[in-house]
Every structure is written in C-alpha cells, then in structure tokens.
C-alpha cells in the first residue's frame, strides 16, 4: 500500500513534528512534507497554538510546486475554522494531487471531515502510514480528545530497600543522570506539575524545567518560527 519512499517522507514529517513538542499545547504536534517523487519541495511543522499549521508552512515553502505533489502529514488536515483557516481547504486550493496522513484527527471537530474535503476535491487520500509513531507524538492531545481527561504521568523514585529519602532528611539523588534528564523532558512537555502538600512544605520544590538544554531549545524554536511567520 505504501512504498519505501512514502515511509521515508512520513518519517521526515514525524521528525519535523517533534520540533514543536514543547510549544504547541493545547494543539497537537504536526509535521508536513510536500514532495514530487523523492524531491522535497516544502516542509514545515506546527510550533504554537494560533500560529500557522504545519501544512501552511509547507505550502508556503513549496509555492507553485505544490501543484500535483504529494503531501505527507502526521495528522489529518483540519477541516474547521478556529484561530486559523482549514488546512484541508488550503491543500485543495494549492492543487496537491495526493495526501498521505499518518492518522485521523480524534478531535470531534475534524474526525474524518478533513479527509472527506480532500476526497471530494478529487485528491487521492491514504491514511495509516506510521500510525503508531504518530500516536506517540500526541498522547496527551489524543487522550483529551477521546476521553475529556488529561494524560497523566507518574514519577516515582525509590532505593532497592524501598526508601525515597534518608531518615535524617539530608537526601541526595537516588536516580541516575539519564533518569533525571527524562524527568526534565517530561516536565517540559507537561501542561502542569502536581505535587503533594507534604513535599511542598518539606522541600519547597521549584517545579520548573531545570535542564538548560531543553529550555534553550524551547526558546530557539519559538523565536525562529515567530520570525518566520512575521516575515512570510
């Protein structure tokens, strides 16, 4: 059903989508690649709610070369007017010949309507390429759209004897550096951090993202894409 070239292009779109993983909330992470055969003529990703979607950035980069091309999108193009116009209509207007979506958008406002708009315009649409990878991009968004509940991650560290702190209260890390780095990534992606009152009173935790590398990454992505949007 899908060629090795299709897989490579969708993998590129998924990689692009990850660039927005700290900045898109409450919107999902989405990447888009527009190509003629093995030549990429435009690509982009969504980086912030209220700003252009991935498809729009890719179409801007492709220009007239989008006509007759294949668009690879990690999530079904939106079909409704929100803070930005529908991406499905933008793809139709640009004249793309084929659209490959990794998955259908679980948002009730979309939920297959984007695919329908494309198909009614005579565009070939295929869904399901690298779907598992696309699902992993937006666990929180998908959980919220399907159930109305948040996606919750629990962080717990304990020693082999079941302890979480020294008896005298003078504790040091009991987790490894990679584990602590994982926690900072989880925090950077999260919409909120919850803690018990006992922890707050005893430790006065900062509850922020302390991994400077990721803080810098967040700032650079936001600044770069805002400038690109304003200058477009």
How far apart, in whole angstroms, are the C-alpha atoms of residue 184 and residue 221?
18
What is the tens place of the pLDDT at every residue in 23-42?
A: 888 899 999 999 999 999 99
Q: What are the residue ranges spanned by the domains of the chain?
A: 4-147, 152-232
Q: At what angle do helices 54-62 and 87-94 cross, to 10 degrees?
A: 20
3-class SS of residue 45: strand
Q: Which of 9, 4, 48 is nearest to 30 (CA)?
A: 48
The pLDDT, as a whole number, for residue 34 is 98
pTM over the 0.85 mark: no
| Amino acid 100: pLDDT | 97
C-alpha R_g of the chain: 21
pLDDT in tens, 145-191: 989 898 888 888 877 877 766 777 676 677 887 887 788 888 878 88
Task: Supply φ then ψ for residue 59, to 5 degrees.
Answer: -65, -40
Q: Is 76 assigned a catalytic role?
A: no
Q: Superfamily assignment of 4-147 in CATH?
A: Cytidine Deaminase, domain 2 (3.40.140.10)
Q: Which of 39, 43, 55, 124 is catalytic?
A: 55
Half-sphere exposure of 89 (CA within 13 A, CB side): 7
Q: Residues with Cβ < 8 Å from 135, sequence gap 6 or more?
A: 103, 142
């Amino acid at each position: 059903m899908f060629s090795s070239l299709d897989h490579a292009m969708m993998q590129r779109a998924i990689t692009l989508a990850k660039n927005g993983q700290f900045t898109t909330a409450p919107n999902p992470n989405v990447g888009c690649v527009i190509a003629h055969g093995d030549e990429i003529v435009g690509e982009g990703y969504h980086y912030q709610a209220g700003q252009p979607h991935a498809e729009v950035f890719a179409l801007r980069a492709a220009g007239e070369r989008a006509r007759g091309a294949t668009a690879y999108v990690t999530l079904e193009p939106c079909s409704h007017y929100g803070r930005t116009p529908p991406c499905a209509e933008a793809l139709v207007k640009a004249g793309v010949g084929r659209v490959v979506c990794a998955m259908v958008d679980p948002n009730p406002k979309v939920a297959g309507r984007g695919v329908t708009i494309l198909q009614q315009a005579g565009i070939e649409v295929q869904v399901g390429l690298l779907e598992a990878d696309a699902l992993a991009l937006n666990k929180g968004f998908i959980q919220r759209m399907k159930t109305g509940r948040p996606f919750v991650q629990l962080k717990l560290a304990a020693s082999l004897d079941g302890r979480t702190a020294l008896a005298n209260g003078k504790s040091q890390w009991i987790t490894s550096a990679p584990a602590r780095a994982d926690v900072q990534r989880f925090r950077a992606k999260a919409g909120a951090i919850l803690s018990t009152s006992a922890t707050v009173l005893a430790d006065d935790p900062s509850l922020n993202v302390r991994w400077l590398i990721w803080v810098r990454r967040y700032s650079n992505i936001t600044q770069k894409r805002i400038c690109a949007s304003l200058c477009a």
